Amino acid sequence: MRVTLTAIKADIGSIGGHIRPSASLLKEVERSLQPHLGKDFIDFRLSYTGDDIAILMTHTHGTDSSLIHQIAWDAFKAAAEVAKKEGLYGAGQDLLKDAFSGNIRGLGPGIAEMEFEERKSEPFLLFAADKTDPGAFNLPLYLAFCDPMYCSGLLLSPNMFKGFKFEIMDVAYTEGDKVIALTAPEELYDIAALLRDPERYVIKAVYSRTTGEIAAVASTTRLHNIAGKYVGKDDPILLVRVQGNFPATGEILEPYALVPYVGGFMRGSHQGPLMPVKRNSSVSFFDGPPIVSCTAYCVKDGKLSEEADAFDHPFWDHVREIASKKAIELRRQGFYGNAMLPYGELEYGGIVERLKALEGKFEVRH
Ligand code: F6R
Ligand code: MG
Ligand code: MG
């Protein structure tokens, strides 16, 4: 059967700062979705990563369905009202527009959707990250889909010998979706040249070159493009199909052991290591570090299996230790140099005013 996976994620308010949503927020999202179950969509799951709530839905309406988007939008709106009543911090933060007009893209929440013909067994992964931006998935996806040092399937499995096609988006462009398609391995260096700059170029989707099937899709929302200014990080979400013509689950997971430094962390304005965490984890140290969760599912006739928490394993405890060490090490240099993001990526305009005021006090000596 043809099924669509829709993952939508938003920060609509959280407890004690930017830590995690309250149980009543999650309950309200669930209450709002429940009447549509078995009617408008086949199945759904809820989870949170830091202060963001993720809704995963399965249905047959295809991508960009206004019905499905509206259901998610209404659920977030209803829960944002609860957040306001509870006095939670940043209530309704990611819901940047008042009215829904057919598509949730451009309204604030991050969205990743894919439609495909279900395989006999259809395993897939849902990644959700907090205190970072969509470029955080660039390196893990590149390594898993392009590099035989990480993905042994590129050497061992004839299903993958042809490699993969990448769609990469220039997220600085605001007039539409500015996208380039590049193929690995032939255009590997071009792909790397773009992905090198994760704040500007972001992987939007990956396709098998053997079958043309979609392999992965990530959210590419940049809130500051919508709001005209920085209003929060664009904490991203990612769907990846695994096994068969795609990398194995473990090949997709392996690059996360690198804990690469990504943009985000405190006030969305720093660099921090991307720590793989268990589902429903909060943030802490310096409002971070940036975190990523991964839930594994199978889908059959649109019904979701129970979930397996891919980073809930002793191996990842060790990686989390490494991430903590890397976080502490970089935090030792505070505001200095690479510890903070470049000017254009700071979530706050305050420093611009400060520097403007100082500019007038400079004197030029000859
Ligand atoms: C991401 C996140 C941060 C905040 C940032 C601004 O989940 O929560 O990127 O958007 O720390 O916070 P406020 O608005 O509290 O200054
Ligand atoms: Mg937040
Ligand atoms: Mg967040």
The reported pLDDT for the residue numbered 223 is 65
The reported pLDDT for the residue numbered 172 is 87
Into how many domains does the chain fold? 1
Considering the entire predicted model, what is its pTM? 0.96
Higher pLDDT, 166 or 221: 166
Q: Which ligand is nearest to the CA of 14?
A: 2
- Residue 364 included in any domain: no
- Residue 365 included in any domain: no
Lowest mean pLDDT among 78-87, 143-152, 221-230: 221-230
The reported pLDDT for the residue numbered 227 is 63
Q: Which candidate, 156, 151, 136, 217, places its Cα nearest to that of 184? A: 151
If you average pLDDT over residues 192-198, what whole number do you get? Answer: 97
- Residue 222 included in any domain: yes
- Residue 362 included in any domain: no
Residue 53 pairs with which residues in a beta bridge? Answer: 10, 48
Q: Is the CB of 130 under 6 A from ligand 1?
A: yes
Lowest mean pLDDT among 157-161, 223-227, 265-269, 317-321: 223-227
Atom of ligand 1 nearest to the CA of 51: 7
If you average pLDDT over residues 299-325, what whole number do you get? Answer: 98
User: What distance in Å separates the CA atoms of residue 84 and residue 98, rounded to the nearest whole number?
Assistant: 15
If you average pLDDT over residues 61-77, what whole number do you get? Answer: 97
- Cα dihedral angle (90, 92, 95, 101), rounded to 10 degrees? -170
Q: Is the CB of 140 under 6 A from ligand 1?
A: no
Atom of ligand 1 nearest to the CA of 264: 9
- 232 pLDDT band (50/70/90 cuts)? low
- 96 pLDDT band (50/70/90 cuts)? confident
Pocket test for ligand 1, best of 15, 18, 291 (most atoms within 8 A of CB): 18
Task: Give, using CA atoms, the residue closest to atom 5 of ligand 1.
Answer: 267
- Residue 309 included in any domain: yes
Task: Give, using CA atoms, the residue closest to atom 12 of ligand 1.
Answer: 267
Evaluate if residue 192 carries a pLDDT over 70.
Answer: yes
If you average pLDDT over residues 59-81, what whole number do you get? Answer: 97
User: What distance in Å separates the CA atoms of residue 105 and residue 96, rounded to the nearest whole number?
Assistant: 11
If you average pLDDT over residues 115-127, what whole number do you get? Answer: 98
Evaluate if residue 355 carries a pLDDT over 90.
Answer: no
Evaluate if residue 90 carries a pLDDT over 70.
Answer: yes
**Phi/psi-derived region of residue 280, left when phi > 0, alpha when psi is between -120 and 50, beta in every other case:** left
If you average pLDDT over residues 256-280, what whole number do you get? Answer: 97
User: What distance in Å separates the CA atoms of residue 50 and residue 110, rounded to the nearest whole number?
Assistant: 15
167 Cβ contact list (under 8 Å, min separation 6): 179, 180, 181, 203, 204, 205, 206, 207
- Residue 269 included in any domain: yes
CA of 235 to the centre of ligand 2 (A): 8
What backbone torsions phi and psi does residue 279 show, to the nearest 5 degrees?
-55, 150
Evaluate if residue 74 carries a pLDDT over 70.
Answer: yes
The reported pLDDT for the residue numbered 207 is 98
Pocket test for ligand 1, best of 229, 267, 277, 291 (most atoms within 8 A of CB): 267
The range of the structural domain enclosing residue 298 comes to 2-352
* DSSP assignments along 251-306, one per residue: HHHGGGGG--EEEESGGG-EEEE-EEE-TT----GGG---EEEEEEEEEETTEE--
CA-to-CA separations, 335 to 36, 178, 186, 197, 259, in angstroms, rounded: 48, 33, 40, 21, 21
- Residue 160 included in any domain: yes
Cis peptide bond N-terminal to 289, omega within 30: yes
The reported pLDDT for the residue numbered 351 is 84
The reported pLDDT for the residue numbered 231 is 60
The residue behind tokens 């400060």 is 354
Q: Is the CB of 94 under 6 A from ligand 1?
A: no
For the chain, the residue count is 366
The reported pLDDT for the residue numbered 121 is 98
- Residue 359 included in any domain: no
Atom of ligand 1 nearest to the CA of 17: 15
Task: Quote the distance between the C-alpha of residue 333 and its chain's center.
Answer: 27
* DSSP assignments along 305-344, one per residue: ---EETT-SHHHHHHHHHHHHHHHHHHTTTTSGGGB--GG
Atom of ligand 1 nearest to the CA of 269: 9
The reported pLDDT for the residue numbered 176 is 83
CA of 166 to the centre of ligand 3 (A): 26
- 106 pLDDT band (50/70/90 cuts)? confident
